[in-house]
Amino acid sequence: MGSRRDFVHKLTVSAVGLPVLGYSTSLENYLPTFNSAAQLRVAIMGLGGYGTRVANAMESCKRAKLVGVISGTPSKIKTWQSKYGIPEKNCYNYENFDKIKDNPDIDAVYVITPNGLHHDQVIRVARAGKHVICEKPMAINAAEGEEMVKACKDAGVNLLVGYRMHFEPRTLEVVNMRRNGEFGKIMFFQGLSGFTIGNPDQWRLDKKLAGGGAMMDIGIYSINGARYMVGEEPIWVTAQETKNDPVKFKEGVDETIQFQLGFPSGAVASCLSTYAMNYLDRFFLNGKDGFAEMQPSTGYGPIEGRTNKGPLTAPIVTHQTVQMDAMAGIILNGEKPPIPVDGEEGVKDLKIIDAIYEAVKINGRVIL
């Protein structure tokens, strides 16, 4: 397997193009509602595998429309123009995309490029006066993330992060049960996120472009999942790194990290982030009165799981379609998402990642 994109695609049946399947819970509880007929006109920056997945999913969107592209590869731009009907005036490269400032047909840019490029690209988009959606992790550290948040606020534009699981119905089914007290006092969360990475020359194993290794790719799912599943912000972190292949995983590029989080209520989380083991996509939440188990928990779909009350029954959807429609509502109408997806949310994850790396370095506890 070459990347997280390949992993989540192969581990689970792709949900792209799937209709909503049978369920016993009302759709209205999970899918976004729309207050107007306006559409968010989006340009995608970065036309790789995940950018293509988002573009395909957006063909089914009601509130978001793909209208532009930004890429350093002219041949990809031509292919996307033909496939998605994108006019020449909405096509840019990485050198000239600041000119979108003068293009009234683009409302927002979805940045889907290597992590190390997010900071500068997001700030440039904000200064061009366009709303920004940025893939996760939002930056390579919290300091960069905070600069991005400030730049977007100063420009008066929205900064959202591509947390597709925050809109995924079965994830929300578990979160709603926890919020309603159906699991009782939360005691423990486990998050396992990992796959065996392939090509050693890819950007995900380049410290400058990725910002790290598995933690900056697949590991963020367990970090973010711990927060929305437990429903609290952690107050301490401990972590341990294992590196069996220092040739492939060079200095600053983590292969496997186990990390633990402590929460104000006394709940704890035990998580694993790795590029060295396959089939790790599992969440487990334990409370005094019940539990939830999800496997796959963050793949592209379908998400599967059960609680002490039975199987999860919320609808199966195309994650990116629901995400983009919901984000259109946030940007156009100020709608509130079920779980935050703003830049501040992204910074919270980055602070935890910073603390995990520090905990590995000092072999001790880091207070958040």
Catalytic residues: 136, 221
| 118 to 89, 138, 174, 195, 199: CA distances (angstroms) | 24, 7, 31, 24, 23
For the chain, how far is it from start to end, CA to CA, in angstroms? Answer: 35
Among 316, 253, 328, residue whose Cα is nearest residue 25 = 316
User: Could you give the CA distance from residue 139 to residue 356 in angstroms, rounded to a whole number?
Assistant: 15
User: Could you give the CA distance from residue 20 to residue 73 in angstroms, rounded to a whole number?
Assistant: 35
Q: Is 282 left (phi over 0), alpha (psi -120 to 50) or beta?
A: beta
Alpha helices by DSSP H, 187-277: 207-210, 219-230
Residue 322 in 3-state DSSP?
helix
Instruction: Answer whether 128's CB lies under 8 Å from 68's CB.
Output: no
Measured over the CA atoms of residue 217, residue 153, residue 351 and residue 263, the dihedral's sign is negative
* Radius of gyration of the CA atoms of the chain, in A: 20
Among 61, 5, 1, residue whose Cα is nearest residue 34 = 61
What torsion do the CA atoms of 249, 251, 254, 258 make, to the nearest 10 degrees? 130
Q: What are the φ/ψ torsions at residue 75 (nearest 5 degrees)? A: -65, -35
List, in sequence order, every residue forming a beta bridge with 262; answer none if it has no partner.
Answer: 236, 268
Among 79, 75, 127, residue whose Cα is nearest residue 99 = 127
